[in-house]
Each structure stands twice: as structure tokens, then as C-alpha cells.
A and B are shown apart, each in its own frame.
Chain A
Amino acid sequence: MNKEQALLAYVTRLGDNALVLGQRMVEVVAAYPELEEELANANFALDFIGQARMFYSYAGELEGKGHDEDDFAFLRDENEFKHFLLLEQPNGHFGDSIAKLLLFESFYLLLLEALTHCADERVAEIAVRAQKEIRYHLRHNTQWFVRLGDGTDESHQRVQTSLDQLWQFTGEMFAPDEIDNIFEAEFDGPDLFKIRETWQANIAAIVAEATLLLPDDDHMASGGKQGRHSEHFGYMIAEMQYLQRTHAGASW
């Protein structure tokens, strides 16, 4: 894989992460327990979809085959999406969503901060914009996580279960593959080992504040970054792509 191919793959993957999480969050729009949180969730989902658009547009330019952001989102097959398995997990209950967002966004913010210093100007520009959005998300979701963990017996127990179940999907975020390595070497990209150290310390502090227990690292799932997804993603992508697949080129 050469430098240009790695950049394209890297940027597409950033778009995949943002789109898949954004789409998941959109699924629960109009089903939130409180109006204020409903708005927050919808805003956050749109932030992710906005980020996906920026990454995909750039990916389309890098690829140079005339594909636009919609082509990347709606006309690629399941195994061409290289997002983390964590992000395609079903929404579950409110505590599941909050735990998922905390685990991902506390990583994503560190990644974006590193990307603002990378050698690719466009990626750095998108990262500057995206990190402001994610910094607020994280503040909001961390508060909720602590509130649920340090809340009632029931909320404590349920969010502990959320954390335990999602933990196995966190390892993949820090496991560099060829694309990560080339991007780090050629474009002054993020050092995932360093990010993991900071992430572990941050998460440990938040989990302790939430009076919860940090799960063990015994088994970590992987494959999302290589396009091997769980069954959940099949249903999700079918719904997401239905319109463009059925009525090609439909727009409003």
C-alpha cells in the first residue's frame, strides 16, 4: 500500500466511524425520555453526520473517480465500511448509549487533537472543526455517565452492565494496522499507543468518579477496521441505504 492509498483509506475510515455512529443515534430521534436530551442527541448525531460528509467529500477528491459523499455513504457494500465494531452496536437503553459515546468520544477527541497537527492540511482542518463539537459531546456524556453510575442502585447496576458489555469493543480503537502505521509515518499522524495511555487514565478516572468498576481487558473483539462486521450492521446499512439503492439518484 502506498502513501496515497493509505491516506484515502484513512480518511474514508474516519468518515465511516462518524457516519455509522451518527446513523445509530438518528435511529432513536423522537424516542428520547426527555425533550432536552432528545435535542442534544439529535444535535450530536448531526455533528457526526456533518463530519462524515467532510471526510467523505475529501475521500472522493483523493480517490479521483468522481464519487461524492453520497456515493461513499449509500453505495458501498457492508464490507467496504471500516468503522469500529463499537459504533455499530445497537442503541440499547439510555445508559448503553451514554457508555458507548463515552468510550468512543474519549478516544476520538484525543485522536482529533493529534490530527490537528498532522501533515495533511485538509484532515487537520476537519479535525480542528470536529474537535470543538466532540469536546462538548464528551463533557455532556461524561456528566451523564457519572450521574448514572453514581445515581440510584438501578442506574448504577445498569450502566455497569453497559460498560462491561461494550468494553470488549474498545481494544480495536488502539490496534494499529498498516493504514494507521503509514499515516503515522508519512503524515505525522496519531500515535495510537500514546493515545491509549492517555485514554486509559482518563477513563479510569471517570469510571472511578462514577463509582463503577473498570472491566478486565481479557477478550477484545476486532475486525471492524478490516470490514468484518457483526450482524447488527447488516440491518443498519440496509435501512440506511434503502432509498438510494431503490431509487438511484433520488434527491430533494
Chain B
Amino acid sequence: MTDKEWPLYEVFIRSKSGLSHRHAGSIHAADDQMALDAARDTYTRRSEGVSIWVVRSSQSVASDPAETAAFFEPAEDKIYRHPTFYEMPDGVENL
């Protein structure tokens, strides 16, 4: 046995039909098929899912924490982007 670790995969689980997949965690696997099995065995043991996506962690592109200010702060003072300036018609319960 070598010390070499298998590649990391990110696991996304859909808990029931109609909902979207959500990030559940990550696992190590030697290939895609093994990753799917490992995700099933690790994250759906208690009936958490009806569908699984796995993707190599190295294939995801992440935002840089150093750029948090430039990336996200400009949105903070633009309250007009929130749809909160409309008069709600009477009787509309879910919007």
C-alpha cells in the first residue's frame, strides 16, 4: 500500500424529487464510479437522498477569499435589487 491519497470528490445530494442538489460533503475515490458508490455509502445511509452528483474537487473553480471585498461588498448597498418596493396585492399569500 502506498501513502498516495485518492483524489477528492465533492458530493451533492438531492433529498427528494423537485428539490435541488445540495452540497453534502466530500469523499476520496480512485475514479468516478467509485466516487458515486462511496458517496452513496457515506451520505445516504439514513435515506437522505434520491439522487447523487459527484464531481472532482479539482474541477470546481472557487472564488478567492482575498477578493471577497471586490466580489461581494458592492452588492450590499444596492437594496433596490431586492424586490421589496412593490405593493403587494391583497390576497396573495405566496410570493
- A interface with B by C-beta (< 8 Å): 33-37, 39-40, 43, 136, 139-140, 143, 147
Instruction: Decide if B41 touches A143 in the complex (CB within 8 Å).
Output: no
Instruction: Decide if B33 touches A143 in the complex (CB within 8 Å).
Output: yes
Total contacts A to B, CB within 8 angstroms? 31
B51 interface residue (CB < 8 Å to A): no
- What 1/0 mask marks residues of chain B from 11 to 44 whose CB sits below 8 Å from any chain A CB? 0000000000000000111100110011011100
Point out the residues of chain B lying under 8 angstroms from A40, CB to CB. Answer: 37-38, 41
Cα distance A147–B29 in the bound complex, in angstroms = 13
Instruction: Decide if B28 touches A33 in the complex (CB within 8 Å).
Output: no
Having A36-B27, A136-B40, one finds 18 other A-B pairs with CB under 8 Å, namely A33-B1, A34-B28, A36-B28, A36-B34, A36-B37, A36-B41, A36-B42, A37-B38, A39-B38, A39-B42, A39-B45, A40-B38, A40-B41, A43-B41, A43-B45, A140-B37, A143-B34, A147-B34
- What 1/0 mask marks residues of chain B from 74 to 93 whose CB sits below 8 Å from any chain A CB? 00000000000000000000
- Quick one: which of A33, A36, A43 contacts B29, CB cutoff 8 A? A36
Point out the residues of chain A lying under 8 angstroms from B38, CB to CB. Answer: 36-37, 39-40
Sample 19 A-B pairs with CB under 8 A, ordered by A number: A33-B1, A34-B6, A34-B28, A35-B28, A36-B27, A36-B28, A36-B37, A36-B38, A36-B41, A36-B42, A37-B38, A40-B37, A43-B41, A139-B37, A140-B37, A140-B41, A143-B33, A143-B34, A147-B30
Q: Which of B27, B34, B41, B45 has most A Cβ within 10 Å?
A: B41
Point out the residues of chain A lying under 8 angstroms from B45, CB to CB. Answer: 39, 43
Cα distance A34–B42 in the bound complex, in angstroms = 12
Cα distance A136–B41 in the bound complex, in angstroms = 10
Q: Which of A36, A39, A147 has most B Cβ within 10 Å?
A: A36
Point out the residues of chain B lying under 8 angstroms from A34, CB to CB. Answer: 6, 28
- B interface with A by C-beta (< 8 Å): 1, 6, 27-30, 33-34, 37-38, 40-42, 45
Point out the residues of chain B lying under 8 angstroms from A36, CB to CB. Answer: 27-29, 34, 37-38, 41-42
Nearest neighbor of B37 in chain A, beta-carbon distance: A140
A-B pairs, 8 with minimum CB distance? A36-B38, A40-B41, A39-B41, A140-B37, A36-B27, A39-B42, A43-B41, A36-B42
Cα distance A242–B27 in the bound complex, in angstroms = 37
Nearest neighbor of B45 in chain A, beta-carbon distance: A43
Instruction: Decide if A143 touches B37 in the complex (CB within 8 Å).
Output: yes
Nearest neighbor of B31 in chain A, beta-carbon distance: A147
Cα distance A199–B28 in the bound complex, in angstroms = 32
Point out the residues of chain B lying under 8 angstroms from A143, CB to CB. Answer: 33-34, 37
Nearest neighbor of A40 in chain B, beta-carbon distance: B41
Nearest neighbor of B41 in chain A, beta-carbon distance: A40
Point out the residues of chain B lying under 8 angstroms from A33, CB to CB. Answer: 1
Cα distance A39–B41 in the bound complex, in angstroms = 6
Cα distance A230–B33 in the bound complex, in angstroms = 37
Instruction: For the complex formed, measure the closest distance between the CB of A143 and the CB atoms of chain B, giving whole angstroms.
Output: 6
Cα distance A249–B38 in the bound complex, in angstroms = 38
Instruction: For the complex formed, measure the closest distance between the CB of B61 and the CB atoms of chain A, giving whole angstroms.
Output: 25
Point out the residues of chain B lying under 8 angstroms from A39, CB to CB. Answer: 38, 41-42, 45
